[in-house]
Structure 1
Amino acid sequence: MTAPGIHTYTEINGQAEALNAAWNQLDQQQDWILQYLNNDLFDEIIFIGSGSSYYQALTMASTCRAWLGKSATAYPSSELLLFHKQAAPAHRNYLAIGVSRSGESTEVVLALEALQALPNWSIAGITCYEESTMAQLADCLVSPNGKETSTVMTKSLSSMTFMMQAAIAKAAGREDLLAELAGVKEQAGQTVRDADAFIHSLVQKQPFLKYVYLGMGSLYGLSLEACLKIKEMSYVWTEAYGTLEFRHGPKSIVEPGTLVCLLLSEQARAYELKVAREMQEYGAFVVVLTAQKDEDTSFADAVFEVGGGGISDEARAVLYLPALQFMGYYTALSLHADPDSPRNLTQVVKI
């Protein structure tokens, strides 16, 4: 019998290797970048996925808009499968990029099949399994070291997000952004190690009744993913919001025993820290994940430096993930749940 969570723990710790493998693989898939991201035929790029794959699709779309300057958005796969007219008005040319770790999620496969049959639609994808149904259906980027045994997504999500961001930077011809991502790749191993120790200590010292994750821009999708990691692994109810949106009603749930975890951007740093201070005044235990500590973060109950100071929020995005994943992992263990075998869940969702 294996120890509870051993696969999840191993895969969280494998993120640096997965990022490196994705980076090297992209060198072999330059044609994909030219055919899809650099194709002026498409008026809009729509990233689709389900669950964690949808949340990383939000970050991919945000990065595409910021770096490539193209119209891009993200939807759950089911929206494009069942409500494509509401999501994408006719008379435009679309590229739908399916996002799926396994490449077998029914909703994304059915959505791509349906869209492929429509006029003015082209399809592509990104996955970790090159022989999957989605990879046979659509031309896919492949994160070769993203394959996982655990049900929950960890290194698969970080490596696919990173790989798509690198593809977008290449499509934009931005050597400065590629240099930022190369730095992230080198930083990732240290960030994982530091996050392990930081979150382990935090969970041991401080029990929480509620969990709230806040993020904006390219980090909003990752705040949703952080929320899901807690739910999947530990079954604790949690929520995620855009940082400033949280002040418009939802903040009423904050009280002593509430963890508020802020994925701090540099672009909106002062605004977001003002929200965090307010939540602390209501009794929340505030954790700030940031590129760099400074006097403005000293009020927080705990601060974790993810690294990547001086680079764009988009490029730094995957460095927030290890701490968020370890939060789910160590919270699960503290509640005697097995992160490798979450109840009611399977690695591939089929309908």
Structure 2
Amino acid sequence: MCGIVGAVAQRDITPVLVEGLKRLEYRGYDSCGVAVHMDGELRRTRSTQRVAELEAQIKEDHIAGFTGIAHTRWATHGVPATRNAHPHFSGPANGKPRIALVHNGIIENHDELREELKGHGYVFESQTDTEVIAHLIDHLYNGDLFETVQQTVRRLTGAYGIAVFCHDEPHRVVGARHGSPLIVGLGENENFLASDALALAGTTDKIVYLEDGDIVDLQLQKVWIVDINGKAVDRKVNVVHAHTAAADLGPYRHYMQKEIFEQPRAVGDTIDGIESIEPELFGDGAEKIFKDIDNILILACGTSYYAGLTAKYWIESIAKIAVNVEIASEYRYRDSVPNPKSLVITISQSGETADTLAALKHARTLGMENTLTICNVQTSAMVRECKLNFITHAGVEIGVASTKAFTTQLVGLFLLALTIAKVKGRLNDVQETQYIKQLRHLPTAIGAVLALEPQIMAWADRFASKENALFLGRGMHYPIAMEGALKLKEISYIHAEAYPAGELKHGPLALVTEQMPVVTIAPNDELLEKLKSNMQEVSARGGELYVFADTDSKIKASEGMHLIHMPEHYGKLSPILHTIPLQLLSYHTAVARGTDVDKPRNLAKSVTVE
């Protein structure tokens, strides 16, 4: 979601700030801005265009400085407009700017603080909750910005990651975080702040991850951190070799297409070196935890939620242990029945998903301390919060619509199902060997599905003129149908819904006409014959079927039934293979409709606010 970059140096840091914003563009944003300490005053440039336009504006306005902050904003409070873009300024009431601030998160008590600050003479120029923080810091300013920020955050309710500097204290930037990620980058006679280590790739690889409640004082030769109680703390310095988000597209038109075709490599990297199923795959102490649990609770949002739903089928079938899957943003707002013997699993590409982190913390307050995360980022908050973890190796995913992150999550969850089954004595040596063999062949099998792209492109041309679509699946392929519908709507803007195929006659069949394409996942499994009956229900109402069927399913193309043959049925790993053509269908439909594939409207890559 929103991105932060900040720096104190003895050089012009605007190129560092702008480059950092470029590296964070993939997260999604609708405005951006930079503020610096320049010639004894605060100067800023803001834009509702892309970072490239902001960069041109900076050059035109001759903006340069040795201390500064920058931001990409995804609108929450206030419409996307220059007046709402960060950085926000504040000064003594009606005076020249003294404070410059950027903020990720949401301040829940902003209305109350706004009225108080208006009473002190502050005039609000924006609709944002962020401007409240800037004015509050200015109001409380006592000549020491670090101390003032400590006082300020005690009055804030909600989530925040902030970076702020003051006209009166050159070569100083202060940062604070609560519920929103913030990291420190260490340099030689210069130091940096960012919401993601990726923003500082190429600038520094020495990264400090701030904990919730931390406040940091950045100066040229000093970094000072205190915790939520104001106590000085040492945080570990990590060497992080972040990959640039400006990777070469090579032969691909968009990052999403590139990432779809990177899935054989991503899956291969995720299973690399795994010769047998061992609890240590998930961290120290995993065997004892897996032996003791009698239930699993999965918490996730969006695409990761669908990965969790798929895992439910695997874990209950292979490990014979009950699984509940909850949408993280809903879980903590209802009365639930906690079970101390549950394994709480979070799934997140970034490891910083605000709703999932909050749900995890809520589960722990209920006494559920056995926690595990499936995540793509080793250094993320989710990994630090959980006892156990499995790190996928998807690599940086730039396209907002998740592809390789999803399939590698599924691989991690399948390994988890096998591991719990083995620990509980429900997986024998022959089964283990067979599953390992299938996993090792998976990258090749995915490659065979990717070869279907030309046929799928022809379907996409038909879909481009549609405004609605249905996706059908049964059993463990129903969550994959849900993921396919999500992909289509989020990048092509076609309304799409998914249903278990057996539910057609309970309502959705009323929608079926020749204008409603019905995408059907038809693996050659025990539910195939029942699925064929559901397909006949669609055909009988004049619906157009678009079927992805395994080669040996004996389904034939006919009028109103478009067919693409998948490779042979792949058993319990079939959902992973059937994910790939749905990604390609959504991608090429979006291309045909001319949408912004990598940065779809209103969406952000990493959702770090509730």
The correspondence for 1:64, drawn from 300, 307, 315, is: 315
Question: 1:103·1:133 contact (CA, 8 Å) conserved in 2?
Answer: yes
Matched, 1:245 2:503: yes
Measure, in 2, the Cα distance between the counterparts of 1:197 and 1:287. 15
The letter for the 2-side match of 1:141 is F
Measure, in 2, the Cα distance between the counterparts of 1:239 and 1:45. 28
Q: Structure 1 residues 182 and 4, CA, compared in 2 at 3 Å: closer, same or farther?
A: closer
Greater Cα offset, 100-109 or 21-30: 21-30
The correspondence for 1:233, drawn from 466, 491, 505, is: 491
Question: 1:183·1:308 contact (CA, 8 Å) conserved in 2?
Answer: no
Matched, 1:73 2:308: no
2:600 equivalent in structure 1: 342
2:474 equivalent in structure 1: 216
Task: Tell me by how many angstroms 1:301 deviates.
Answer: 2.2
1:54 equivalent in structure 2: 305
1:153 equivalent in structure 2: 402
Q: Structure 1 residues 205 and 108, CA, compared in 2 at 3 Å: closer, same or farther?
A: closer
Measure, in 1, the Cα distance between the counterparts of 2:419 and 2:363. 27
The letter for the 1-side match of 2:270 is A
Matched, 1:199 2:456: yes
Matched, 1:325 2:583: yes
Question: 2:263·2:443 contact (CA, 8 Å) conserved in 1?
Answer: no
The correspondence for 1:302, drawn from 562, 567, 584, is: 562
The correspondence for 1:284, drawn from 524, 533, 543, is: 543
What does the per-residue CA deviation read over 1:125-171, in whole Å, with 9 as the maximum and x for residues that have no partner? 00111111111111321112243011110011011102221332244
Measure, in 2, the Cα distance between the counterparts of 1:168 and 1:302. 35
Question: 1:25·1:143 contact (CA, 8 Å) conserved in 2?
Answer: no
The correspondence for 1:264, drawn from 513, 519, 522, is: 522
Q: Structure 1 residues 184 and 32, CA, compared in 2 at 3 Å: closer, same or farther?
A: closer
Q: Structure 1 residues 190 and 213, CA, compared in 2 at 3 Å: closer, same or farther?
A: same
Task: Spell out the pairing of 1:126-137 with structure 2 (5 A cutoff).
Answer: 126-137=374-385
Measure, in 1, the Cα distance between the counterparts of 2:380 and 2:418. 26
Question: 1:26·1:167 contact (CA, 8 Å) conserved in 2?
Answer: no
Task: Tell me by how many angstroms 1:26 deviates.
Answer: 5.2
2:55 equivalent in structure 1: none
Measure, in 2, the Cα distance between the counterparts of 1:115 and 1:278. 43
The letter for the 2-side match of 1:66 is S
Measure, in 2, the Cα distance between the counterparts of 1:104 and 1:25. 27
The letter for the 2-side match of 1:306 is M
Tell me which of the two structures has the higher relative contact order, counting C-alpha pairs closer than 8 angstroms and 6 or more residues apart. 1
- The structure with more helix, counted as a fraction of residues: 1
Question: 1:12·1:155 contact (CA, 8 Å) conserved in 2?
Answer: yes
Matched, 1:140 2:389: yes
Question: 1:5·1:338 contact (CA, 8 Å) conserved in 2?
Answer: no
Secondary structure (helix, strand or coil) at the match of 2:292 reads coil
Greater Cα offset, 274-283 or 98-107: 274-283
Q: Structure 1 residues 252 and 337, CA, compared in 2 at 3 Å: closer, same or farther?
A: same
Task: Tell me by how many angstroms 1:179 deviates.
Answer: 2.6
The letter for the 2-side match of 1:188 is I
Instruction: Give the gaps of 5 or more residues in structure 2.
Output: 1-51, 53-248, 422-426
1:113 equivalent in structure 2: 361
Secondary structure (helix, strand or coil) at the match of 1:130 reads coil
Measure, in 2, the Cα distance between the counterparts of 1:338 and 1:43. 45
The letter for the 2-side match of 1:251 is L
Task: Tell me by how many angstroms 1:210 deviates.
Answer: 2.1
Task: Tell me by how many angstroms 1:92 deviates.
Answer: 5.3
Identity value in percent: 21
Greater Cα offset, 234-243 or 182-191: 182-191
Task: Tell me by how many angstroms 1:113 deviates.
Answer: 1.6
The letter for the 2-side match of 1:305 is H
Instruction: Give the gaps of 5 or more residues in structure 1.
Output: none
Measure, in 1, the Cα distance between the counterparts of 2:364 and 2:301. 19
The letter for the 1-side match of 2:326 is Y
Given the two structures, how large is their TM-score scaled by the length of structure 1? 0.91
What does the per-residue CA deviation read over 1:290-315, in whole Å, with 9 as the maximum and x for residues that have no partner? 22254434446222233242x42x31
Aligned length: 345
Task: Tell me by how many angstroms 1:25 deviates.
Answer: 6.1
2:155 equivalent in structure 1: none
Measure, in 2, the Cα distance between the counterparts of 1:117 and 1:38. 18
Task: Tell me by how many angstroms 1:205 deviates.
Answer: 4.7
Measure, in 1, the Cα distance between the counterparts of 2:481 and 2:395. 21
Question: 1:48·1:97 contact (CA, 8 Å) conserved in 2?
Answer: yes
Given the two structures, how large is their TM-score scaled by the length of structure 2? 0.54
Task: Spell out the pairing of 1:74-113 with structure 2 (5 A cutoff).
Answer: 74-83=325-334, 85-86=335-336, 89-91=337-339, 93-113=341-361
The letter for the 1-side match of 2:317 is A
Measure, in 1, the Cα distance between the counterparts of 2:253 and 2:483. 19
Greater Cα offset, 196-205 or 125-134: 196-205
Measure, in 2, the Cα distance between the counterparts of 1:220 and 1:273. 15
